[in-house]
Amino acid sequence: MTEQRKQPVSDPVRRAAEEWGKKAHQDLRIARILLGYCEYDTVAFHVQQCAEKSLKGVLVVHQKEYPYTHDISEILKHVAMVDKPLSDASARASELTIYAIVTRYPNGEPVAEDGAQEALSIAGDVYARAKAYVAAFGVIWP
């Protein structure tokens, strides 16, 4: 990803993209706070949401429709159409898709502490990459 500044987006697009970043950041903060204080599946759910919202925020900057899915692999296909290097750098986020499903219902597969920590690391990386990416368009995330 280049550090070159892109053309700033319109105010409505900027505001919409900033809302996605704000929501992604909230999920990341919640996951960090909850780690060690609750079941790890709750942490895993929030990190999946962080990655999903971060990537959808990138699509919003480009005024592209984002898929109504929790499947991060599917979202990454759309991101690749606007920035292949960002999509490639975020590829591990697809590992988080499972946490959108198994963590939400009883009898789901339990998440171990090391799995939650690794998922948190992946989501943090995706968020940071997406935040830097959208900043080049004049979009500021927390």
- 2's tokens: 């280049």
Model confidence at 49: pLDDT above 80: yes
pLDDT digits (tens, 9 = 90+) for 103-112: 888 888 889 9
10 Å CB burial of residue 45 (0-12, 13-18, 19+) is: buried
The residue-averaged pLDDT of 109-118 equals: 93
- 10's tokens: 């319109």
How many helices (H) and strands (E) would you count in the chain? Answer: 5, 0
Tokens 């697009």: give the residue: 13
- The pLDDT score that the predictor gives to residue 132 is 97
- In this prediction the pTM is 0.94
- 73's tokens: 């692999």
Model confidence at 78: pLDDT above 60: yes
10 Å CB burial of residue 13 (0-12, 13-18, 19+) is: middle
Is the distance from CB of 81 to CB of 58 less than 8 angstroms? Answer: no
Model confidence at 141: pLDDT above 80: yes
Please report the domains of the chain, with CATH numbers, ordered by start residue.
12-135 (1.20.120.330)
- 126's tokens: 């995706």
Model confidence at 3: pLDDT above 60: no
